[in-house]
């Protein structure tokens, strides 16, 4: 079994009357890219802040690299790279000076630091901006600077809190590829996001959070197997009769249907030939159909089925 990197047991954090973390536990092992996925307000940032001993908590235990984490655990902190949700860099320092400053908190050897800062600049692709001050950078470039500041000292554990919010697609892809590369080079990664596609693409294991609780945990495939829905089939068809809808809803593996007069949606659980069977029924009744879609479940479906609400924010 791989070495434990982060172990959180029964963490409880209250802000006044609000329970932000409700007996929350995690066990993250060396080499993982662990995703904390949850809607805004579910407790991701609170978890990270407790983990780093930046925030006191009401109950629970936290160990990092097998040792208890406290505000003065400098040896542990040295091995952690943290990229906060809100960009934290100095406006009066250039790109180079910012990275040098943060790297200098951990690396005192000047030659070594120079090399590390250089590597971090290349890594995030900010070479041509090295003399720029943060205010002159676009949102995406600023995020990349934030990341460079967090990783320049080559930490063993890298924690990124929603690093792609309000980032252009080019920077977003670069950030996601960069994280995968850091992981290939040996870092364990904790990645929080409310974008399920990113988490699904990047993470080896995922905990889904809602209202301070862990509602599910596993690989993407494991999470999807937890739910009943395995396939959602949508068929454009006009004027379906009640009889046809009923016949389809009685097919094996079909557990729900919806028809709005133009779009016929069939929710299936298990089964390999759902689409063929449904099309067969429509053909028997000589229904002419438009486009046909078959979708596999997403992590949103997992969230929806467990909590009864959508993970994705409205308007996104």
- Is 267 in contact with 256 (CB distance < 8 Å)? yes
Please state the closest distance from residue 205 (CB atom) to ligand ADP, in A: 18
- Please report how close the Cβ of residue 192 comes to ligand ADP at its closest, in angstroms: 7
Helix/strand/coil (H, E, C) string of 126-186? CHHHCCCCHHHCCHHHHHHHHHHHHHCCCCCEEEEECCCCCCCHHHHHHHHHHHHHHHHCC
Specify the residue, 120 or 189, whose C-beta has the smaller distance to ligand ADP.
189
CB of 198 to ligand ADP, least distance (A): 15
Residue 233 CA to its chain's centroid (Å): 26
Q: How far is CA 163 from CA 30, 83, 124, 280, in A?
A: 21, 7, 13, 47
Q: Is residue 46 a contact point for Mg ion (CB under 5 A)?
A: no
Q: Which stretch binds ligand ADP (CB under 6 A): 12-20, 109-117, 226-234, 242-250?
A: 12-20
Among positions 206-235, residues that touch ligand ADP (CB under 6 A) are: none
For 41, list phi and psi in degrees, rounded to 5: 90, 5
C-alpha span between 16 and 199 (Å, rounded):
31
CA quadruple 240, 246, 247, 253: dihedral positive or negative?
Answer: positive
- Rounded to whole angstroms, how far apart are CA atoms 116 and 256? 56
- From the list Mg ion, ligand ADP, none, which binds 38 (C-beta under 5 to 8 Å, kind-based)? ligand ADP
45 binds Mg ion (CB under 5 A): yes
Chain position carrying tokens 């860099």:
89
The binder of 41, among Mg ion, ligand ADP, none, by C-beta within 5 to 8 A per type, is ligand ADP
- 188: partner contacted, choices Mg ion, ligand ADP, none (Cβ within 5-8 A by kind): none
Q: Does 41 bind ligand ADP (CB under 6 A)?
A: yes
Site map (CB under 6 A) of ligand ADP, residues 44-83, x = contact: xxx-------------------------------------
| Size, binding site for Mg ion by CB under 5 A | 3
CA nearest to 167, candidates 190, 148, 183, 144 = 144
Asked if 49 touches Mg ion (CB under 5 A), the answer is no
In angstroms, what is the minimal distance from the CB of 158 to Mg ion? Answer: 17
H/E segment holding residue 174:
helix 169-184
Look-up of token digits 């250089």: 118
How many residues of this chain interact with ligand ADP, rule: CB under 6 A?
11
Start-to-end CA span in the chain (Å) = 40
Smallest separation (angstroms) from Mg ion to the CB of 165: 9
Q: Which does 232 bind (CB under 5 to 8 A by kind): ligand ADP, Mg ion, none?
A: none
By beta-carbon distance, which residue lies closest to Mg ion? Answer: 45
Question: Which residues here bind ligand ADP, judged by CB under 6 A?
Answer: 15, 18, 20, 38, 40-46
């Amino acid at each position: 079994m791989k070495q434990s990197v982060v172990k959180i047991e029964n963490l409880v954090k209250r802000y006044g009357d609000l329970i932000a973390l409700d007996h929350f536990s995690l066990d993250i092992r060396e080499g993982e890219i662990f995703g904390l996925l949850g809607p805004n307000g579910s407790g991701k940032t609170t978890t990270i802040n407790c983990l780093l001993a930046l925030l006191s908590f009401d109950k629970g235990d936290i160990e990092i690299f097998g040792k208890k984490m406290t505000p003065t655990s400098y040896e542990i902190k040295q091995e952690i790279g943290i990229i906060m949700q809100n960009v934290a860099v100095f406006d009066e320092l250039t790109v180079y000076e910012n990275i040098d400053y943060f790297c200098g908190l951990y690396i005192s050897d000047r030659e070594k630091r120079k090399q590390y800062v250089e590597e971090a600049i290349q890594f995030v692709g900010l070479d041509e901006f090295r003399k720029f001050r943060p205010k002159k950078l676009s949102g995406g470039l600023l995020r990349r600077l934030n990341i460079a500041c967090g990783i320049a000292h080559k930490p063993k554990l890298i924690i990124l809190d929603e690093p792609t919010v309000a980032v252009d697609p080019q920077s977003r892809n670069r950030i996601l590829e960069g994280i995968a590369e850091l992981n290939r080079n040996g870092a364990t990664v904790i990645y929080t996001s409310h974008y399920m596609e990113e988490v699904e693409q990047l993470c080896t294991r995922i905990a889904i959070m809602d209202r301070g609780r862990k509602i599910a945990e596993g690989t993407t495939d494991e999470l999807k197997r937890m739910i009943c829905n395995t396939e959602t089939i949508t068929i454009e068809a006009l004027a379906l009769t009640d009889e046809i809808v009923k016949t389809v809803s009685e097919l094996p593996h079909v557990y729900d249907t919806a028809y709005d007069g133009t779009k016929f949606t069939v929710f299936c659980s298990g089964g390999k030939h759902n689409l063929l069977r449904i099309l067969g029924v429509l053909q028997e009744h000589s229904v002419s159909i438009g486009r046909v879609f078959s979708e596999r479940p997403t992590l949103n479906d997992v969230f929806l089925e467990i909590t009864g609400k959508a993970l994705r924010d409205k308007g996104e």
